[in-house]
């Protein structure tokens, strides 16, 4: 009788162990439904891939940074090449040291390094934009309402801005009016943060953009900050 009871207890113990073996020690669910092994494998895979994913994330962030900066600074070439370290005329960079509190007019023949110097300075101003007058004119023309037009003009009247290669595009009456409005507002408000590059002096520029606009630019910049750049054309080594 006792032997039978002992065997019965042993059988139940064995059966209980077999039943317990069907359940996961971690989550208590039936092993056939348990996700612990899957979760553990996924975590191990994620841990293994984490350095790879982190490298890819940093690469994407850098690509976005380069795209945004190149657009802000006037193109990929400007982003890569137009740096203070690569600019040889350090006296020009020193002359621009009060930007954006003051305004500057850089002029000289093509390839003298005007845009390079301006962009090198603009790098320290994350809100700055690089634009040509034709772009502003087209943006204003595309406005659908007078309110939008006013908002666009006011944006450029307040912006920290490099107005690049002024005078190189045909100055229509519309463009002249838009440019005068922007410069007049900046002049009235004594606003700094403007660099203009051009291939000619302000006096000669007046024949293209209009004397009244050239007068506003001269007033904004002043003779001290009107800088003529000379030297070889670095693009062709001439």
DSSP for 127-194, written as a single string: T-EEE-HHHHHHHHHT-SSHHHHHHHHHHHHHS-EEETTTTSS---HHHHHHHHHHHHHHHHTT---E
Residue 223 confidence (pLDDT): 94
Return phi, psi of residue 233, to 5°: -75, 105
Question: E strands within 4-159?
Answer: 104-107, 129-131
Is the pLDDT score of 80 beyond 70?
yes
Q: What is the pTM of this model?
A: 0.77
The mean-pLDDT minimum among 5-14, 31-40, 174-183 falls in 5-14
Residue 9 confidence (pLDDT): 61
Q: Using 50, 70 and 90 to split pLDDT, how confident is the model at 11?
A: low
Is the pLDDT score of 235 beyond 60?
no
Is the pLDDT score of 236 beyond 50?
no
Q: How far is CA 119 from the centre of its chain?
A: 13
pLDDT in tens, 32-76: 777 887 888 889 999 999 999 999 999 999 999 889 999 999 999
Q: How far apart are CA 112 and CA 147, in angstroms?
A: 40
Q: How far apart are CA 166 and CA 147, in angstroms?
A: 26
Residue 213 confidence (pLDDT): 96
Q: Between 230 and 165, whose confidence is greater?
A: 165
Residue 32 confidence (pLDDT): 73
The mean-pLDDT minimum among 15-24, 49-58, 80-89, 169-178 falls in 15-24
Q: Between 24 and 165, whose confidence is greater?
A: 165
Residue 238 confidence (pLDDT): 40
The mean-pLDDT minimum among 3-7, 28-32, 161-165, 177-181 falls in 3-7
Mean pLDDT, rounded, of the chain: 89
Is the pLDDT score of 78 beyond 80?
yes
Which pair of structure tokens corresponds to residue 182? 């922007």
Percent of the chain with pLDDT over 90: 72
Q: Which residues pair with 226 in a beta bridge?
A: 105
pLDDT in tens, 141-173: 999 999 999 999 999 999 999 999 999 888 899
């Amino acid at each position: 009788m006792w032997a039978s009871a002992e065997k019965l207890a042993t059988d139940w113990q064995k059966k209980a162990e077999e039943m317990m073996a069907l359940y996961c020690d971690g989550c208590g669910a039936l092993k056939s439904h348990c996700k612990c092994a899957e979760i553990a494998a996924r975590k191990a895979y994620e841990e293994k891939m984490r350095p790879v994913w982190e490298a890819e994330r940093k690469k994407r962030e850098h690509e976005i940074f380069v795209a945004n900066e190149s657009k802000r600074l006037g193109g990929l070439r400007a982003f890569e090449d137009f740096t203070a370290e690569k600019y040889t005329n350090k006296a020009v960079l020193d002359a621009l040291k009060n930007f954006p509190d003051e305004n500057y007019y850089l002029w000289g023949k093509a390839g003298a390094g005007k845009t390079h110097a301006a962009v090198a300075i603009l790098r320290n101003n994350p809100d700055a934009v690089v634009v040509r007058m034709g772009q502003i004119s087209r943006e204003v023309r595309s406005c659908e309402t007078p309110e939008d037009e006013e908002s666009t003009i006011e944006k450029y009247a307040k912006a920290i801005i490099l107005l690049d290669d002024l005078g190189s595009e045909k100055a229509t009456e519309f463009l002249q009016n838009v440019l005068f409005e922007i410069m007049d507002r900046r002049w009235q408000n004594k606003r700094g943060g403007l660099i203009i590059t051009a291939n000619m002096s302000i006096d000669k520029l007046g024949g293209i953009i209009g004397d009244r606009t050239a007068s506003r630019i001269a007033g904004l910049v002043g003779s001290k900050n009107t800088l003529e750049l000379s030297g070889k054309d670095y693009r062709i080594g001439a």
